[in-house]
Structure 1
Amino acid sequence: MQPLWIRMSRPVMRRLTAGARAAAVCILSVVAIVAADGASAQNGSEACQPNRVALRGPWGQTQFIVEIADTIEERAEGLMHRPHMARGVGMLFVYEAPQRASFWMKNTLIPLDMLFVDVTGTVRHIHHRAIPGDLTPIPGGDNVFAVLEINGGLAERFGISVGTELRHEVFSKSGAIWPC
Structure 2
Amino acid sequence: MTAVPPSRFPAALTRRRLVAGLLAAPAVVRFGPAATPAAAAAPAVTFARSAVAVVTHDGRRYTFSVEVARTPAQRARGLMYRRRLAPDHGMLFDFGGTGPRAMWMKNTYVALDILFLEADGRIWKIAADTTPLSEATIVAEGPIRAALELRAGTSRLLGIEVGDDVRHPMFGDPPVRVQGAE
What is the TM-score when the length of structure 1 is the normalising length? Answer: 0.68
What is aligned with 1:131? 131
Within a 5 Å distance, the mapping from 1:1-180 to structure 2 comes to 51-59=50-58, 60-172=60-172, 179-180=173-174
- Shift >6 Å, 4+ stretches: none
Note the residue ranges of structure 2 that are not aligned, 5 or more in a row.
1-48, 175-182
What do the CA deviations read for 1:90-148 (whole angstroms, capped 9, x no partner)?
00000111021011100000100000000011000000010001111001222110000
CA contact (8 A) 2:57 2:163 kept: no
| Secondary structure in structure 2 of the residue aligned to 1:76 | helix
Partners of 1:162 and 1:96 in 2: how far apart?
Answer: 21
One-letter code of the match for 2:66?
V
Q: Once structures 1 and 2 are overlaid, which stretch shifts more, 87-96 or 133-142?
A: 133-142
One-letter code of the match for 1:94?
D
What is aligned with 1:43? none
Q: How many residues in Structure 1 have an aligned counterpart in Structure 2?
A: 125
Partners of 2:143 and 2:72 in 1: how far apart?
Answer: 18
One-letter code of the match for 2:65?
I
Note the residue ranges of structure 1 that are not aligned, 5 or more in a row.
1-49, 173-178
CA contact (8 A) 2:116 2:140 kept: yes
Percent identical residues: 34
| Structure showing greater Rg | 2
| Secondary structure in structure 1 of the residue aligned to 2:163 | coil
1:58 deviates by 2.5
Structure showing the higher helix proportion among its residues: 1
